[in-house]
Amino acid sequence: MGRALELIHRADYLLNAYLPRFGESGQLNTYMFHVMLNDESELARNLIQPQQRTTVEHLKIFLDAALETGVSFVTAKEIAAGLPRDGRYAWLTFDDGYFNNTRALPVLEEYEIPVTLFVSSGNVLENKGYWNDILQRELTARGKSEAEIEKVGFAFHHLTHHEIEEKLTSAFGADALTPKSDLDRPLKPDELKDMAAHRFVEIGNHTRHHAVLKNYSNEEALAEIVGAGDDLENITGERPLSFSYPVGYFDELSIRQVKNAGIKVGVTVDRRRNSLPLSEDRMLTLGRHVIWARSSIREQIASSAGTWSIFRTLRRIMKKDHY
């Protein structure tokens, strides 16, 4: 799958390099990172799920490539206020709230680029590790393959955080929930407060417990969203107006829940660009591109921003066949 995705990105890059752009309107492209490694050798410690394998150097490559396309980076506040319809914009985001995200600050200062950190407040307040990292660490130590770990992880997408914690503590002991280093731990409350005060950092809502909303009752889902908003406001002094759907899952009910919680801007992991202008409803389900270190980042940027996209076409066909 990784090789196929790399070839599709390459084809999209070539299409957009050599074919003209017809009728192109203003657009907003949103990009997602999770962890910020110093280098890929840190993955050998098996403390975190490899995910996108992005390093500080990859972030620099990403910013150079994006800026070369002529975009201006914006914040959730600017999106909520309404972006001019003829502009080209990018929104940089990190999900979860890892302490290792502080490594991005010198780069953001150098490039003068804003970022939105979507934080799961429960991990911060309770100093609990992220379940996907716990699975990676504990199952790797027990000799499980990446495919086996991934299979268990997908099954967890259908559980509540209470069910996940019960499974983790039952299998690995209560101590498994405790982070083991600065690499896998969440920000501490005072660190989050300092991050939020940084001139290039904005904080977003990622629920209290990285809750996949479909697994909860309406009241429970609202409590996860509103509760995280309360927590983050108490820590930072400002209530987030943006939201990242955990694991990217959303449906009509979860959109209403997010809207009822007072959120103005919501972001998914549907890999698509967002044409301008944005209605209030479209702002709640913005497309977002995941940046992968093992494919050419420049080609991923070209594919995301261009008029022509084999990836987007295949995605639409697959969704149509699925539903």
| pLDDT by 10s per residue, the chain, length 323 | 556 655 665 565 555 544 444 445 699 999 999 999 999 999 999 999 998 999 999 999 999 999 999 999 999 999 999 999 999 999 999 999 999 999 999 999 999 999 999 999 999 999 999 999 999 999 999 999 999 999 999 999 999 999 999 999 999 999 999 999 999 999 999 999 999 999 999 999 999 999 999 999 999 999 999 999 999 999 999 999 999 999 999 999 999 999 999 999 999 999 999 999 999 999 999 999 999 999 999 999 998 886 555 555 555 554 443 32
Q: Which pLDDT value is given to residue 184?
A: 98
Q: Which pLDDT value is given to residue 51?
A: 85
Nearest residue to 289 via CA among 12, 31, 9, 8: 31
Query: Which helix (H) or strand (E) covers residue 93, if one does?
Result: strand 88-96
pTM over 0.85: yes
Query: Coil, strand or helix: which one is 161?
Result: helix
Q: Which pLDDT value is given to residue 201?
A: 99
DSSP one-letter string for 234-262: HHHSS---EEE-GGG---HHHHHHHHHTT
Number of Cβ within a 10 Å radius of residue 155: 10
Q: What is 2-129+178-322's CATH number, 3.20.20.370, 3.40.190.10, 3.90.1150.10, 2.60.40.10? A: 3.20.20.370
Distances (CA, A) of 290 to 52, 63, 303: 8, 14, 12
Extents of the domains making up the chain = 2-129+178-322
